[in-house]
Amino acid sequence: MYQESYFYQFLEPISKELAYLAKELEKSIFTFPRVMLTHSRVFIEHILRLVINLEKLPLDSQTTLIDQIQLLHGNGYLTEEITDALHYVRKIGNQAAHDARKFRYSEALLAWEAVYKIVKWYAEVYCPLNIQIPEYQDPTPKQKEDDDIQVLILKLEALEKKLSNVISPQENDTPDEDVATTIETKEISIEPGLYPIRTIQFKSQKVEIPFFLRDAFLLPQRFPKSELFLIRLGAEQQARIMSELPNNLEGISKHVKRFNEKNEEILFEELKYYIQEEITRRKIIMEHPGELFIFFKTDYIILTENLSSIELKEENFSGIPNLLRQLQEDQIEKVGQLPKELVILAKYDRVGIGTVEKLFEQLKKLQNR
């Protein structure tokens, strides 16, 4: 599989977390400079914690970044140039975290150059001699940056958490080595939009909610065994959209009458299936950019101009006269006017999923004609 090269790839043999964190920071310079500045501060703090552990200096979880800088500087481990670089990243990072003003690309670039000085010092002093450190290069804007700012922050925080789990105060089993700690991990490389933003659980089971579904409308017809349950919950503002669902579905039935724990369990199982369906659909849409679709469960058709122009009449569609009549009453007269989510047609009087499926199968035949 092709792996995109990046400037701090040379850090991977030493610490994949540091390398991947630097990669995400670099990608954010021209898109989200505030995020880059805020998390660059965290990045250098991780480096200093590694150094303090290796030098066996006193450190606890309450030690601040400025305390760490002063500790290393006071014990002669930092040159003036590195101390200045550390303070620059610290100060601009603090500003980015607290100041509402707009931060410029130029500020992010200055911080990025300071980060390079710090990484170069760390690699030269604490990493194996065979590490090849490239000369500094200004990053260049990428033609396409796919990550939403919230997804980027989630990625950075996940990497920072992994790094923190390895870099512990020296009293907690710090490796007795004279080189930086090697960390085995996999790069967080998830397709934009699929990054998990939250987890919903039921008893011991869990399901991750991808970013692109964070505020998805929970169409009751997509949950055949929980349709009425969802409608009732929606009326109580408990389950109209994904973000209204609680983190734990246990007890959600208390908001409505005549439903119980069994309904919660069924809803959870259908929610898992719904998420997988949506991920499949998203992949299909991304593989066919610019196309219009009609979906029925996990199946789909692409709306061509010819198919869109076909009239919804009995001479074109057999066995579904009641549905066709009600569509005509709602001025849905051609295939191109049908909803993207075909299952929603089951809302019509005496129209069930079976009738909608008959319409979909006939649409597929017309598409392939």
For 232-241, which contacts have Cβ atoms below 8 Å and span 24 or more sequence positions? Answer: 232/256, 232/259, 241/215, 241/216, 241/217
Cα gap 200→247, rounded to integer Å: 5
**Beta strands of the chain (E only): which ranges?**
196-202, 205-210, 293-296, 299-302
Q: What is the pLDDT along the chain (369 residues), one digit of tens a residue?
A: 334 577 888 888 888 888 888 888 888 888 888 888 988 998 999 899 889 988 988 877 667 889 899 999 999 999 999 999 999 999 999 888 888 888 898 999 999 999 999 999 998 898 877 788 889 888 887 655 555 666 666 677 777 777 776 665 444 444 334 334 333 444 445 565 677 878 999 999 999 998 888 888 898 989 999 999 999 998 876 678 888 888 999 999 998 889 999 999 999 999 999 999 999 998 888 888 778 899 998 899 998 888 999 999 999 999 999 999 999 999 999 999 999 999 999 889 999 889 999 999 999 999 877
Element (H, E) at 98: helix 80-98
What the block records as the tokens of 57 is 């200096």
Closest C-alpha among 239, 142, 241, 246 to residue 192: 142
Query: Do 93 and 40 meet the contact criterion of CB atoms below 8 Å apart?
Result: yes
φ/ψ of residue 335, rounded to 5:
-55, -40
Element (H, E) at 265: helix 261-287
The alpha-carbon radius of gyration of the chain (Å, integer) is 28
pLDDT of residue 1: 37
pLDDT of residue 350: 92
Closest C-alpha among 8, 17, 7, 46 to residue 182: 17
Query: Do 25 and 46 meet the contact criterion of CB atoms below 8 Å apart?
Result: no
Cα gap 7→195, rounded to integer Å: 24
The dihedral region occupied by 364, where left means phi > 0, alpha psi between -120 and 50, and beta the remainder, is: alpha
Closest C-alpha among 232, 216, 369, 356 to residue 299: 356
Cα gap 198→208, rounded to integer Å: 6
Query: Do 323 and 355 meet the contact criterion of CB atoms below 8 Å apart?
Result: yes
Question: Domain ranges in the chain?
Answer: 7-166, 193-287, 290-369
pLDDT of residue 181: 38
Task: End-to-end CA distance of the chain: give it in Å, rounded.
Answer: 38
What the block records as the tokens of 209 is 């909610």
Element (H, E) at 44: helix 33-54
Query: Do 92 and 85 meet the contact criterion of CB atoms below 8 Å apart?
Result: no
